[in-house]
Structure 1
Amino acid sequence: MERRIDFSRERQMLCGRCDHRWRVNLEWIDRWEQGEETCPGCGMTCQHEDAPQVTVDPDDPALDDDRVARFFWYHTSTQADWPTRDFDPAAVLTPETRRVMGGEQRVSAWVARQRAKALHVGTYEAAVHNMLRRIRNQADQQSQFYLYRVRLMPSVVVRQGWLIDPSDFVGDVVLDEVCPPGVDVARYLNYHEDPGGLSLALGRDAIAGVQQVPVPLPDTWDGGWVRDAVAALEGVSGTVVPATGKPARLMRTSSLRAVLARELGASLAGRLPVNLQDQFASAAAFAEGEDPEQWARRTSGLFDLIDDPTRVLAALDQQDPREV
């Protein structure tokens, strides 16, 4: 069952001091994070330890235990076979790496910890947001990403209620800590991607199957924007040197084509929800020497993931589910 996709929907805020709850838009949250808004109940700013934070919407349909397994859930990854059936985290370790880690006994302990981690799935919005965040923060711009639509086993047992995001500083969750014996899935409030939405921590056995498409879709073609962007980029050449007080040998030059591509990407970013604009601009960065048409198609495809998900959802509908 597909839920309504809305990157710009309003969010619920809850104050940790006065328990005031209210609904805000993304522009309000952006101003709040810059110290320009306060709690309507007590006047607290974002700088306090118990400052208001985004919270779960009490009308979120995923709060209904019986509906969790009926919804589609999403994940983005650079793995072409996520979740890997025979997951072996040590397969990529070289003999030198194994030695540095302290030998086979410590490698085995590390493998056990990796296998004990929960998988994460969430809303469509959270999956796209996660991909853009990775591109920006983890130098994954040139990586091929895949969007997965996840179907859960109908018999999954859902942990009662929901948790505050249990992830550690690198986003890991130990499955047994959130899903005790007899529980297959735990809901948690996602602060970082699709803030206020519910995501799931779960094990591989909770997943019945996945559908997968590459993102952006390989046949992306916006006859208007892509054509105009390619024509504009192919019409410029040369380099531009920024005006700075640094010695010439320390100044970094950019091609006029790269400067124009940044402007074109920024123009698209400005049409997106405010909490995605910086991440999208980073994802749309133009690499020196990149083919203009390839860049324009990729950038347009990323934009469409947010602005009009219908094409990618239709592409997923055409894929046979892969059993996990």
Structure 2
Amino acid sequence: MSIHDFSGATNDSAIDAYTDARQAEYVAFLHRVPFAIDALNLGFLTGFREDCSYQQQQFLNLKLPVGMLDNDFRNPNLDRYTERVLEHGPDVGIIGDAYDRAEARTYVRAVRDLQKRVPETEFVIVPKCKAALEEIPDDIVVGYSRGYADILAHDFSDPVDWRGRRVHILGGSPPKQLTVIDQLTQPTLTGDPPADIVGLDWNGLHRGAQFGEFWTDNGWDDSGRDADHMTVRATVRHGLGHVRSFWENQGVWPEGPTEYTGRTQYQPPTPADLHSSTCVECEDDVWRGSRGPFVAEYDTGDVCGYCCYGCYFAHRTRNHLEEVMGEASVYFPPTSS
């Protein structure tokens, strides 16, 4: 039977159960701005590791919601992570890796305490051995390691060990994650309950984009390598679109619109933000134009002033610049009446 063939299920309710089990509540992408902005606009849950940030300080007035807060798995510190959770109030918190039963119990106690203080956050404990997996209660999401990690989930467990659990798949390219989803949710002859795929994340797009490659369901495509107009940001964004389409076609992408973009706070630039009255394109005084300065904030963090629209367009096009928040990042002076 094909892994996508549900003919072995006994009735419509069983088919619905397996279909629902595959569909995630979120698909996460952890990175800094401006990449996080594009991911948000495409419906991804964004965030960063506890020892990092969105690096939005280079922009004038930009604040993004912290959807997912990962732990620093190379240097774990539960007290430090707890402080960061209370600071950011993420939607999802990857609290830590449990290498034995004792560590699993410690993380469970921490989750129970945090659930009282930040009840809207979904916490994930990542077991690194079968004993730790067994120690984590069924109501807490368990992290299935599939990407870059010292111990992967399949190193110590079988798919049946994860069935009936709420699961977040950590890392691995979409095809690798899809294999895990199929293993944990497809109908079995013994009638094992499917795992509930709560979420998944993969941050591998940026590495390929630095070499002009973007991910597709047919593998990495390097057609952007020699295209001057394809910036790293544009290449990552193109790959994100392919990732979303892949999960939509597999019935894994979350159903309905996401609320993440509505939580972004941004104030566009104004002439008051200019540190020079010189047009960056023609070097005329930006205040001597018939309408006043045009101002753009780019994803490089630069705020540039122009004496006219023509200078803005020429400078932007020649240098392959992109505004941090699209048209919202451009100040157009009022037209004279």
User: Do the two structures share a fold, i.e. TM-score over 0.5?
Assistant: no
Rg larger for: 2
TM-score tier by shorter-chain length is under 0.3
Question: Given the two structures, how large is their TM-score scaled by the length of structure 2?
Answer: 0.26
Question: Given the two structures, how large is their TM-score scaled by the length of structure 1?
Answer: 0.27
